[in-house]
A = this chain, B = another copy of it.
Amino acid sequence: MSTLPIGIFDSGVGGLTVLRAVRDRLPHESVIYLGDTARVPYGTKSPATIERYAVEDASFLVEKGVKMLLVACNTASAMARERLRAEFQIPLLSVLGPGARMAARVTRNGRIGVIATEATIESGAYVRAIEDASGDKQVEIFARACPLFVPLVEEGETDSAITRLVAEQYLAPLRAQEIDTLVLGCTHYPLLKRVIGETMGSAVTLVDSAEATAEETAHVLAQHGLLNQVPGASSSEFYVTDAARRFHRIAEKILGEPLPHLEAVEIWGHDRLHTS
């Protein structure tokens, strides 16, 4: 069981920031990645649709035989993590929890900003998770949807005049709130770290939930006795639902290396296979 891979899914390429952090933190673990590129993005769609897609994604990975599920998409985490926990009997971690817990831990003035997709922000899931993680600590949370950040990243506009103008428009209200911590609540956003950091100023700590998630993944595996003890045999497999060339282009930029194995698969109906 402990030699089985970790399953990671996202609506597209963004979750590769999580995969990279997991491989860095847990080099002995094998991973299987699924990007639902045929239906990307999730962040502009309705809760019911996002939940259905997330169940199909997870079902695909569970059928592949994974020992743990990582929901590397904040939108899917916000909409579907309870449904996924109910449906699947293996350890499951979603990026939303680790990010929220880290934000609660690092804030000094208790003023925390969250930026994410429209669907994630509208769900209120981050606000609730940060409040839960803060316990008795008094916090005030300022949430803001940044819908143009994902297309900007996907077009490679990670550090351009356009991106700086968009960042200024989205982030000026958060800067005015004098937050000291900002959660990057979408797995694409770490690619905009420089622009976001410069727009917010150096006094604001950026929380990259990819790293927080990798750290917690190690704990969860240890807790369940699932850490791989056999060194040197780890592997990475990549699946997408649409093999558009742009996935390659952006994926290799995120990973900083060529994709070793990429297979296009159909996943629709996998939820029905699973639940019947």
Contacts and interface: CB of A to CB of B under 8 A. Distances in A.
Contacts of A49: 38, 241-242, 244
Interface string A22-64: 0000000000000001111000111001000000000000000
B44 A246 contact: yes
B147 A151 contact: yes
Given A39-B39, A49-B242, A44 B154 contact: yes
Contacts of A155: 147-148
Interface stretch (A158-166, A181-189, A204-212, A213-221): A158-166
A161 to B, nearest CB: 6
B37 A244 contact: no
Quickly give the copy total for this chain.
2
A238 interface: no
A92 interface: no
A200 B142 CA distance: 40
Contacts of A118: 246
Contact of A46 (B147, B162, B242): B242
A169 B268 CA distance: 38
Contacts of A171: none
A243 B46 contact: yes
Nearest to A118: B246
B242 A45 contact: yes
Contacts of A169: 162
Nearest to A47: B244
A244 B44 contact: yes
A152 interface: yes
A117 to B, nearest CB: 11
A269 B266 CA distance: 12
A111 B56 CA distance: 48
Interface string A232-276: 000000000111111000000000000000000000110000000
A165 B161 CA distance: 8
Interface string A130-165: 000000000000000001100110110100011001
A155 B170 CA distance: 12
Given A151-B151, A162-B166, 6 more contacts: A39-B39, A46-B242, A46-B243, A49-B241, A118-B246, A148-B162
A-B pairs, top 7 by smallest CB distance, nearest first, are A151-B151, A46-B244, A49-B242, A39-B39, A45-B242, A38-B49, A147-B155
